[in-house]
Structure 1
Amino acid sequence: MKKIYALLVLAGFAHAASAADIVGNAQAAPAKIEMCIGCHGIPGYKATFPEVFQVPMIGGQSAKYIENALKAYQKGERKHPSMKGIAASLSEQDIADVAAYYSQQTAK
C-alpha cells in the first residue's frame, strides 16, 4: 500500500512539474488568435449572444489574467457560452501562447 501511495505522490509531482514547464510563446500565437480577433479586436464591440455583452479589449492585459480567465471558462467558472466553447478547444500550451501574445499588445 505504501508503494502505491508513493507512486501516486510521485505522479502528482510529475504532473505539477510538467504543467509548470509550459511557457507561452507569442510567436506561436498568430494562428491561435484568429478566433479572438473577431470580437476582442473591435473597439466598442458588443456581442449579442446569449445577451448583449460588452466585449473587453484584451490587448495589454497580463498573461496571468488571460490564462486564468481562459481556464475559468474551461472549468465553467465563467459562464459566457461562446468563450466556454472557445476555451474548451485550447490546450494548456495554446492558452499560454495566446496569453503571451495579448500581454505584449498595447491596450486600446
Structure 2
Amino acid sequence: MKKIFALLVLASIANVAAAADVVGNAQAAKVDMCIGCHAIPGYKATFPEVYQVPMIGGQSAKYIESALKAYKKGDRKHPSMRGIAASMSDQEIADVAAYYAAQTAQTAAKK
C-alpha cells in the first residue's frame, strides 16, 4: 500500500512539473474564438445576460492563463467561456495568454 501511495505522489509531482514547463508562444496562439468578442471596443454580449466584454490586450499572461484554467475547471461560470476554455490544451492556453500579454490595450483594439 505504501508503494502505491508513493507512486501516486510521484505521478502527481511529475504532472505539476510538466504543467509548469508550458511556455506560451504568442505567434502560435489560436485567437480566432477570442477576437470575436474581446477585440471589439465597447462590445456587450447578451448571453447569458447583457454585460460588458473586457478588452484583454495588455493583461498579464499569468492572469489570462489563470482565468482560462478557472473557466476550464468550472470555477468561473460563464457558459461560453467555459466551453471555449474546455476545448483548449494547456499549451493553447499559454499561447493565448502570451499573445494578449504582448499587446497593449490600444493595439488589441486595432486588430
**TM class, shorter-chain normalised?**
over 0.9
**Counterpart-to-counterpart distance in 2, 1:73 and 1:12:** 22
1:70-102 CA-partner distances (Å, limit 9, x unpaired) = 111112221111111111111110000000000
Other-structure match for 1:51: 49
1:48-91 CA-partner distances (Å, limit 9, x unpaired) = 11111100000000001001111111122211111111111111
TM-score normalised to the size of structure 1?
0.93
**Counterpart-to-counterpart distance in 2, 1:21 and 1:57:** 28
TM-score normalised to the size of structure 2?
0.91
5+ residue gaps, structure 1, are none
1:33-62 CA-partner distances (Å, limit 9, x unpaired) = 001001000000000111111000000000
**Counterpart-to-counterpart distance in 1, 2:103 and 2:73:** 26
- Trace 1:89-100 onto structure 2 (pairs within 5 A): 89-100=87-98
5+ residue gaps, structure 2, are 107-111
Aligned-partner residue type, residue 13 of structure 2: F
**Residue 68 of structure 2 corresponds to residue 81 of structure 1:** no
Moved more, 69-78 or 59-68: 69-78
Structure 1 vs Structure 2 CA RMSD: 0.9
SS in structure 2 at match of 1:97: helix
Identity of counterpart residues, as a percentage? 80
SS in structure 1 at match of 2:105: coil
Q: How many residues align?
A: 106
Other-structure match for 2:14: 14
- Tell me by how many angstroms 1:11 deviates: 0.9
